[in-house]
Structures are given as C-alpha cells and as structure tokens.
Chain A
C-alpha cells in the first residue's frame, strides 16, 4: 500500500501540519497565559485552563504530519503519517464532540446545578473547527483508510 508521494501530496501534509501547529501553539500559549493572568481563580479552584491539553493534542497531530512531510521530502513513504495523524485528529474531534454533547445533556436535560451558568462556547475546542483538514485527507487518501 504505497501512495505516490508526489510533491503535491507532500505539500498537503505540510499545509495540514502548519494549520494544526499554528492553532495548537496559539491554544497552548493562551492556555499557559491563562494560568498567570487568571492567577487568583486558578489557585482557588486548582483547575488548569482547559485549553492546554486540547492544544497539546492538536500539536501532536501537527507534528505527526510534519514528520510525514519531512519523510516525504526524503523520498520515504509518508502514508503511515497520513493515516495516524488523520485517525488521531478524528479521535480527538469525536472526543470533544462527545464531551460537548454530554455537557449539553447535563445542562439542558438533567439541568445539573454545576451547569447553571454553562454556555456551549465553553465546550468548543479549536480542533473541532479544524475538521475539514482530516476530512480532506480521508477523502483524498481513502485507499489508505478503507482498502482491504
């Protein structure tokens, strides 16, 4: 199972990884800034700002694709990087969608006290909005994912 790592396909990996890395860095940096700017709140609740870990997940996916791009440039087969990065991206997107749906259920169906002031925006993670990238990879390289 080898895809022809044409320049165009390798470039796609670079674009995908750049988008993910950029968003991840912004998310992680803002997450860390949140610790210090919102210091009082953090100490009282001992809760880390929620953006850091989703940011790290996005960062790792970006890194996987970036290494794939580098391998492709060296004329090595980058297919594994496309597969793993895309599966990870779907895994985390589905994870955060599940968390969002759970929060919606807790807030509106069970009307739990902890969710009295909850808004849907709190549960939206950047990686969820980046779904067109893995979607494009899944369609573009479908033989990597669906062939027997």
Chain B
C-alpha cells in the first residue's frame, strides 16, 4: 500500500478516532452465512435466507472499530462457488475484486463443508487478494463431530483464519483484528503453482501478455494468464472492456487450450483434499443427520411433489382464513373514518375527495395488509426452515423437462411475493437463454398485489372453497408459466438447459424474529406503495370518477372514468366484463393494488370494503363465472409498471419488454375468454 493511497484513505475518515479506512469485500459460497456476517458487522438488516442465491447484488455497509481506530467499508458480494464468471453473480463478484481491488477480502467458509469452500479460496489466491478466512458455522462442525485444526489450516494456506459463529456474533472482534493485521501486512501466501507443463504454458502466455498495451495495472497478470491458458470463454469480453484489440485477443487465446482447465481444476482439488486431510478429523462412522433423514422423504421421487403441493395448499388456506377477522376490523375502522370525513368536511367535494377518494381508496388497499403480511410470514417460515430449497430440488426434473432450469424455481417462488425482486434473482442463472425464459415466465407467478382481487371475489362467490380457488389460481399461474417456458424453449430460446448444482442447506427451526423481519421488510413495500403510487392513483381515480363535477353521480355511468371503461368495453365483453371491471383492469396496469380501489369508487361508490362487497353481491352484473374470469385475467396480465421497468433493466431490451407486456395480456385475454365461454356453455353463467 503506497503512502499516497494511505493518505487518501485517511482522508475518508469520518471521526478523529478513526485513523484508517479499509475496503473489505465479503466473498463466499452461497448459504455460508455471508449476509448474516454482513448484518452482524454493519448492523444493517440485509435479507438473510436459508437458501442459496439470496444476495444477487453487491450490498454496502460500514463498521467503525474504535478500539482499532479503523473504519471498515464493507461490500457483501453475491455467493459464488468460483470466480469463473459463468453466471452474472459470479461476474459481479469477480469484477469487483479485480476492478475495485478491495484492501482485504474476507472469505466466509462453511467449516462443515471445508473441501468445497476452499476451491474459492484457491481462486482468490490466484487473484492475489489479501485474504482473511472467516471459518463460520463452527457450531455445526461440533454437532457433526468434525474437528478442524484451525492453526494448522492457517499455516498450510498461509492465510489468517478466524473461527466463528456469525449467527451468535461469536468471533466478530477477532475478525476485526485479523482484517486490520492483514491490511497492514504484506500477503504471506505464495502464488498457486501447477505442474511443470502448465507452468511452462503460463510462462509462454505471460511473455505474450507483456506485449499487450492498455492493460490496467490492477489486473493480476498471473490470474489473467491462467484464464487465457485454460481458454476461459469470458476472457475475450473481459479484455475487450480494456480496449485490447480483437486480433491480439485471438492470438492470446490461440495459445490456450480448454483441456488445461480440467488439469488446473484437478490440481486445485488435489491441493485442497491433501490440506483438508491434514487438518480435519471426523468421527469414524457418520450418522445420518436429521436433515438427511427428512430429505429422503421430501425429495422422494413419488412423495416429494405431493407433499410440496399439500404444504402450499395449507399455507394458502391459513393465509386466507386467519386474515379474515383482521380485515374485517380494518374495514370497520376505515369505513367509519371515511363516513365521518365525508359527512363533516365541507365543501362537499373536499369531503368526497378525502373520504371517498383518499381514505376509501387507501383503505381499500390497507385492508389487504393482513393476508399479504401473513403470506410473507408463511413463506419466510418455509424459506428459513430450509424447505424451499428442497422444493426447487424436487421440481428440477420437471422444470428441466419443460425447458426451465432447476434454479428458476427459486425466483418463481419469490415471484409469489413480488415479481420485481424475483426477476432480479434470475441473475443466479448463468445461461442467458435460461435467464430470459425465466424472466418472461415470472409475470405469471401470482404476486402479493393480486391477492386483494382474489380475496374480494373468491370470498364473495366461492364461500368455503375460497382458499382452494385461490390455491388453484396460483397453480394455474404456474401452469401458464410452464407452458410459456415450454413454448419459448421450443421456438425461440432453443438448446439444452444447464444442469442444476444447488446446495441443500441443513434444516433448522425457523426463527420467529427472522420471519417477522422478513414479513415486515416485504410487507412495508406494500404499505409504502399505499402511501405513494397508490395514493396518487386513488386521487386520479377519484378525480376521473367525479368528473365532470356538475350533474353526475360519483362513480356513476356518466363520469370520465366510465367513459374510459365504456370505450374499451367491447374488447372485454366476451370475457364477461362490463365497463366497471374494465376500468379496474386498466388501472391495474399501473399497480394491481389499485384494482379494488377503483372498483370501490365505481361499484361501491367510495364505500368501505363491506359496502363494496354488499354492492357487488346485490349487483346483477357480478356472478361466480365472470368473477372467476376476472381473477384469471388479473392472474395472467402484466403485473405492474414496476415489473415492466425491471424486465427492461434485466433483459436490456425493449423488444423483450414489449413482448412480455403484449404476451401476458394476450394470454390473460385468451384464458379468461376460455373460462367464461366454456363456463357459459356448461351452464355456469348468470
């Protein structure tokens, strides 16, 4: 570290007691407790999950270590098994370490799975990073009766190692000290050496590489050379970024051979297994753990899928039934408030705006907080227990058959919460085709914002079977998603999907605190939307439902809102929708939460939820069949403006974004049409 750089870093100090500022990157395999350690170090509340792929972007935080007089600027990188940049998350991690050159890289290693985790260590060593190993999950090794000679391991690798338990914050202070020491000292480990044959190849490539101009000094030459030797497919893109001419890149790659890759990997694993043999002692006969025993059943080829489906059905039943009384109480509160405001505030239009528009409209959204929060809570419980990873594993064979990757199942499950983070989570898929197919499939996963529509109409028209109908809608959404994936694979994104390599984390009793925090984090997004976009939306809906001011009844058939609905009504007649439902669906393009609010303005004329329900029940225009058709349309058409935005961002293509909007809406129309027309033929009409 040069004096100049040190001075620059000291300038960053925010406190007089802080004498230096250290950039630390947290790297590690998925599900090793990286996010837990990040939270423990920074005091932040980044999402922690008991399944791989929770962190798909870099997250930043900082820690002040007063006793050591230093500030740690910490970046949590996505979990990766290697740094070969096969997937977007690996690329993010690798490029950050190369380009940002953090002062220290802390690799979180799962102590109970040392052999597999050390592969990443060898790659970090190749990059020439200053490494500290946080040997996490020492409690698990104790349970598994695995003993690790930490001192010996540290000596073998020439890397400082801190044994720790991130969940209980054990070893944090020691880690701070190790980071400070590593930052100040020169790195001790030697470059990783290979067989003579590979080393002479490395020399040959290195000589050629020396002739290349423009290469920034922060790129570790030996690492780059090795990538060229093994003809890493991502290297041309990497070099092009630094303006290296194509002809030179081709010349360099001509020196490499893909056959070296296997030899290099084997050499690394040989080193790892010898090291592990020296430092790890396991008890002679290892009993099957409780997780292994459970896995035999939940991943059973015949029992796995039925068990999963029944569990999900149970979750939906619970969510629907338990929320009802809370919804009733919230509804009573908002109904009372809206009534008081409308009656007492003058002029009349202002009372109507505040009472019917804002309180009624926002109330129509807030009322669905109980089922949405309960849904997030239940999904968090399943996730934290480790069961959701098994669900992905169980579904893999099936997913591969229909052209999706096994890992796609994880974003698909996330999609039940919100499509936006789910689409971002596809970054864990390394193959571009797999990723695009998953992104275009995800809008069919029924997000939490659609729940209000289901609960309103299923609750009204399907009585005791409401939970089952909602469950069927979710399954139906998945089925349409699967069909979409199959078609996309068959006709557009042709080719095989990559094999699923996914770690199954051990089961543990879900922690109420984690589930509650997770529920709050996701649920507050819904509340936040209620206070922002939905507030604006309900005011807009109120305005359109009240205009023109003179001589029209609020939400009546002569308002501007009605005019919009009536304009599009012919398109939706074959689905059983009149102009009022059309208005709800049009507003739903912005956010699905607005659908019920808009219907409240038109049908319930701004009344509370009970008023809306009673208005729908007594209105001849609504009956089970068109309610089902409406729910099917809501399930399948484009989720919201935010999802459209994130599809554009993640695909980087307007073409696929527009395709997604048109395709989802078209599919929604077709399915709703089929439901309504077949239902009518079978006598389920009015």
Which residues does A use to contact B, with CB under 8 Å? 1-2, 43, 45-48, 50, 53, 56-57, 60, 63-64, 67-68, 77, 79-81, 83-85, 88, 91-92, 95, 98-99, 102-103, 105-106, 109-110, 112, 114, 144, 148
Contacts and interface: CB of A to CB of B under 8 A. Distances in A.
Contacts of A85: 297
A102 B325 contact: yes
A148 B143 contact: yes
A103 B320 CA distance: 12
A99 B464 contact: no
Q: Which 8 A-B pairs have the closest CB atoms?
A: A80-B293, A47-B465, A84-B297, A80-B296, A46-B624, A99-B321, A80-B297, A47-B463
Contacts of A67: 297, 300, 302-303
A105 B370 CA distance: 16
A85 B300 CA distance: 13
Contacts of B500: none
Contact of B307 (A47, A79, A84, A114): A84
A4 B310 CA distance: 30
A102 B293 contact: no
Contacts of A46: 461-462, 465, 624-625, 628, 684
A50 B318 contact: no
A43 B306 CA distance: 28
A98 B322 contact: yes
B19 interface: no
Contacts of A45: 461-463, 465, 624
A73 B329 CA distance: 54
A4 to B, nearest CB: 13
A99 B24 CA distance: 50
A53 B325 contact: no
Contacts of A43: 683-684
Interface string B296-317: 1110101100110011011001
A64 B328 CA distance: 39
B288 A77 contact: yes
B290 interface: yes
A19 to B, nearest CB: 18
Nearest to B471: A53
B317 A95 contact: yes
A67 B306 CA distance: 14
13 contacts: A47-B464, A63-B306, A64-B297, A67-B297, A80-B295, A84-B294, A95-B318, A99-B317, A99-B318, A102-B321, A102-B325, A109-B325, A148-B143
Contacts of B465: 45-48, 50
Interface in B383-404: none
A144 B464 CA distance: 37
Contacts of B311: 88, 91
Contacts of A2: 287-288
Contacts of A60: 303, 306-307, 310
Contact of A77 (B293, B314, B329): B293
Contacts of B297: 64, 67-68, 80-81, 83-85
Contacts of B275: none
Nearest to A42: B465
A80 B353 CA distance: 60
B95 interface: no
Contacts of B684: 43, 46
Interface residues of B, number: 40
Contacts of B313: 53, 57
Nearest to A44: B624
Given A43-B683, A45-B463, A91 B290 contact: no
A101 B318 CA distance: 12
Contacts of B208: none
Interface in B623-659: 624-625, 628
Contacts of A92: 310, 314
A98 B625 CA distance: 30
B314 A95 contact: yes
Given A1-B290, A84-B294, 5 more contacts: A46-B624, A67-B302, A88-B311, A99-B317, A99-B318
Interface in B75-103: none
Given A46-B461, A47-B463, A95-B314, A102 B322 contact: yes
A109 B329 CA distance: 11
Contact of A84 (B143, B298, B625): B298
B48 to A, nearest CB: 22
Given A1-B289, A67-B300, A88 B307 contact: yes
B324 interface: yes
Contacts of A79: 288, 293
Contacts of A144: 290, 293
Contacts of B464: 47, 50
A148 B328 CA distance: 43
Contacts of A77: 288, 293
Interface string B646-686: 00000000000000000000000000000000000001100
Contacts of B73: none
B497 interface: no
B324 A106 contact: yes
Contacts of B288: 1-2, 77, 79
B468 interface: yes
A83 B293 contact: yes
Given A2-B288, A80-B294, A88-B310, A106 B325 contact: yes
A123 B293 CA distance: 34
A73 to B, nearest CB: 16
A5 B631 CA distance: 50
Given A2-B288, A43-B683, A98-B318, A83 B294 contact: yes
Contacts of B468: 48, 53
A53 to B, nearest CB: 6
A89 to B, nearest CB: 11
B74 to A, nearest CB: 32
Interface string B272-292: 000000000000000111101
Interface string B526-538: 0000000000000
Contacts of B624: 45-46
A98 B321 contact: yes
B314 A57 contact: yes
B454 to A, nearest CB: 14
A50 B320 CA distance: 15
Nearest to B298: A84
A60 B293 CA distance: 18
Contacts of B298: 84
Interface in B468-500: 468
Nearest to A114: B463
Contacts of A56: 310
Contacts of A112: 328
B462 A1 contact: no
A48 B464 CA distance: 8
A98 B468 CA distance: 16
A70 B100 CA distance: 58
A67 B288 CA distance: 19
Given A80-B295, A84-B297, A64 B463 contact: no
Nearest to B683: A43
A109 B328 CA distance: 11
A132 to B, nearest CB: 21
B593 to A, nearest CB: 24
Contacts of B293: 1, 77, 79-80, 83, 144
Contacts of A106: 324-325, 328
A64 B308 CA distance: 13
